[in-house]
Structure formats: C-alpha cells, structure tokens
Amino acid sequence: MAIAEISLPAWVTFKKTLLHAGEFSLFFFRFLRESFKPPFEGREFLIQCYKAGNKSLPLVGVTSFIMGLVLTLQTRPSLATFGAVSLLPGMVSVSVIKEIGPVITAVICAGKISSRIGAELGSMKVTEQIDAMEVSAINPFHYLVVTRVWATTCMLPVLVVFADCIALFSSFLAYNIHGDISLTRFFSLALSRLDWIDIFPSVIKSILFGTAIGIIGCYKGFRVEGGTASVGTAANSAVVTASLAIFFIDLVTVQITDIF
C-alpha cells in the first residue's frame, strides 16, 4: 500500500515529464520546419533583434564588468603567493572567454529575454491575440516564434562578445589597482593564452544558448491556458527551464568539444 502510494504520483510525474518532452520536441521540429518557409518576416525579426540585443546591453554590460573585476581581485592574492601575477591576464581571459562569459550572459538573458517572451506570448494567448492572428490567415507560429528564436540565436553570440570585452576591460582596471600595466600589454598577455580552438566552443555554446532561450520562452508562452495567473507561471517556468537548459547544454558541449 505504502509503495503504491509513493510510486503512483512518481509515475504520474514521470508520464507528465515525458509528455512535455514530446510536446517540446514537436514544437522544436515545427520551428525548424517553419524557419525555411516563406514569407520571411524580416521586419519583425529586426524588431526582436533590437529587443533581445540592444535592450539587454546595459544589464549584460554591468554584470560582465563586475564579473571581470571580482574575478581579478579574488584571483590576484592566490597568484601573488606563487609569484605568478603575470599569468593573471591570461587566466582571466581563458576563464571569461571559454566559460564564464557565455554562461553568465546566457543566464542573465534567460532571466530577461526568456521571461519576456514567455509573458508576452502568454498574454497574447489569453487575450485571444494569437487566435486573432490565426483567423486573419497569418501563421502565428511563423510570425511570433520563428522570428523570436532566430533573434535570440543571432543576438546571444553578439552579447557574449560584448560581455567578454567588458569583463576583460574591467579586469584590466582591477589589475591596475595594485599594479601598473598598459592596456595594450594587458590584452596582449590575455590573448596570448588563447587559441582559435578555445574560441570555437564558446561561439557554438552561445548559439545553442540563444536558441534554447528563445525556444523555451516561446514554448512556455504558447502553452499558456486559462487566465492571467498562468502568464506569470509561464514566465517563471521559462526562466527556470532556460537556466537549467543552459547548464545542461554547457555540460554536453564541453564534453563534445573536448574530443577535438
């Protein structure tokens, strides 16, 4: 009896998870299929690029500035113990460009962009705006989902490059609190530790993070049913799922890129 009581809810949860995974896969394949179908909504795509990219710049900028500053200030004493302070720019650049930059930027964007998309599409669903589009013979999936997912996919790598630059610059400022190094020398030391093969996984990761953020936001928004309360739930769920997906993608891509 006790085993049945415990196992029944677990089985129901497992079945629900499988069902969601199936629905999400269908949603993703529909996105891939519709991506290459005309008409191409160029205007809406550019609007979404502006919203995802330009409007995230201040938040990404401030966060990456603090990230570079803190990383440098905290690592410097440890390196100084071994007399290896000159390795600091290289260490910061490898950490920021290979891992911290893409992951922190993606997590911030999951909070900012994925929740915005989830809430926006969710409220459009409950106020029948998506149905209005459908009955006007305009494919809402094509107009709303395809444009948003491509926008986040294209904008995230740009935001990551921006975040990396800001973090390295703030690292340079932090380095100069206790030391004296020119900007050219700092960047030359920082980039000397990097190879093209180090940048490649970071770019791939950023693209995948962007796609995950966009598609999860859209999926959660499109699945909203009922009243306005479910819009908040969808936005919240979009952030949580997108953040988890980012760490999962990070784990997988590290394993794959390590092979090469």
CA angle at 199 for the pair 197 and 205, rounded to the nearest 5°: 110
Amino acid letter, residue 231? V
Picking from 240, 251, 255, the residue whose alpha carbon sits closest to that of residue 114 is 240
Among 1, 10, 137, 197, binds other proteins (CB under 8 A): 137
Query: CB of 175: closest distance to other proteins in angstroms?
Result: 45
> In this complex, which beta carbon is closest to other proteins, that of residue 92 or of residue 124?
124
Verify binding: residue 37, other proteins, rule CB under 8 A.
Answer: no
Verify binding: residue 132, other proteins, rule CB under 8 A.
Answer: yes
Backbone Cα Rg of the chain: 22
Contact 242, 212 (CB under 8 A): yes
Query: CB of 106: closest distance to other proteins in angstroms?
Result: 25
Spatial CB neighbours of 109, under 8 Å, sequence gap ≥ 6: 52, 56, 60, 152, 156, 159, 209, 210, 213
Among 39, 58, 83, 227, binds other proteins (CB under 8 A): 39
> In this complex, which beta carbon is closest to other proteins, that of residue 140 or of residue 201?
140
Verify binding: residue 18, other proteins, rule CB under 8 A.
Answer: no
Query: CB of 113: closest distance to other proteins in angstroms?
Result: 16
CA angle at 48 for the pair 45 and 50, rounded to the nearest 5°: 110
Stretch 180-239 residues interacting with other proteins (CB under 8 A):
none
> In this complex, which beta carbon is closest to other proteins, that of residue 23 or of residue 128?
128
Query: CB of 226: closest distance to other proteins in angstroms?
Result: 14
- Specify the residue for token string 């190879």: 195
Verify binding: residue 129, other proteins, rule CB under 8 A.
Answer: yes
Tokens of 146: 């395809």
Of all helices (H) and strands (E), which one includes residue 215?
helix 196-222
Verify binding: residue 131, other proteins, rule CB under 8 A.
Answer: yes
User: How many residues of this chain interact with other proteins, rule: CB under 8 A?
Assistant: 16
- Measured CA to CA, the distance from residue 91 to residue 84 in angstroms comes to 11
Tokens of 77: 């004493």
Verify binding: residue 135, other proteins, rule CB under 8 A.
Answer: yes
Picking from 158, 157, 183, the residue whose alpha carbon sits closest to that of residue 170 is 183
> In this complex, which beta carbon is closest to other proteins, that of residue 23 or of residue 131?
131
> In this complex, which beta carbon is closest to other proteins, that of residue 39 or of residue 58?
39
Query: CB of 39: closest distance to other proteins in angstroms?
Result: 8
Picking from 224, 178, 171, 176, the residue whose alpha carbon sits closest to that of residue 193 is 171
Among 16, 23, 78, 128, binds other proteins (CB under 8 A): 128
Question: DSSP E strands: which ranges in the chain?
Answer: none
Stretch 67-126 residues interacting with other proteins (CB under 8 A):
120, 123-124
> In this complex, which beta carbon is closest to other proteins, that of residue 76 or of residue 125?
125
Which residues of the shown chain bind other proteins in the complex (CB under 8 A)?
39, 120, 123-124, 127-129, 131-139
